[in-house]
Homo-oligomer: A and B are copies of this chain.
């Protein structure tokens, strides 16, 4: 029976309602964050600036101490990701684990993921009120997950 446990449990996870969608949203959001990091590097390359002396020497770039405003903008978008996306990663996982309502989870997962993609695009392209709206929708999705989790914890 011990030999069967591993197979059993990986089936259990895959069969948890919402788990597949959750895992896909995590991957989309990580690829989106990787793209933001890549955009920072590409913006520095385009402006031919570097903050590390070893990079300036290597790429023939100008060494600076302060970031260019265009780089700073991408860094702020990325930082906003770091302040919000890891929270979703945990709330989504816990929601799946406690068996939150499937439709509620599906709406929250898709809304959060779409909102964060729109947030990055609208931040980088200086599009308001899209940036504030997408930030708000992402926060609401996280808040909805918290409510669903608390209800299950005390049900």
Chain A contacts to B: CB under 8 angstroms: 2, 5-17, 19-20, 23-24, 26-27, 30-31, 33-34, 37, 51-55, 58, 65-66, 69, 72-73, 76, 78, 82-83, 86-87, 89-91, 93-94, 97-99, 126-129, 131, 139, 142, 146, 149-150, 152-153
Contact = CB atoms under 8 A, between A and B. Distances in A.
Contact of A128 (B2, B24, B55, B78): B55
A113 to B, nearest CB: 14
Contacts of A91: 26-27, 30
26 contacts: A5-B11, A9-B15, A11-B99, A13-B98, A14-B99, A14-B152, A14-B153, A19-B97, A20-B153, A23-B94, A24-B153, A27-B146, A27-B149, A30-B90, A30-B146, A34-B139, A37-B83, A51-B72, A52-B73, A53-B126, A54-B131, A55-B128, A65-B69, A65-B72, A86-B89, A93-B93
A66 B66 CA distance: 10
Contact of A97 (B2, B10, B69, B129): B10
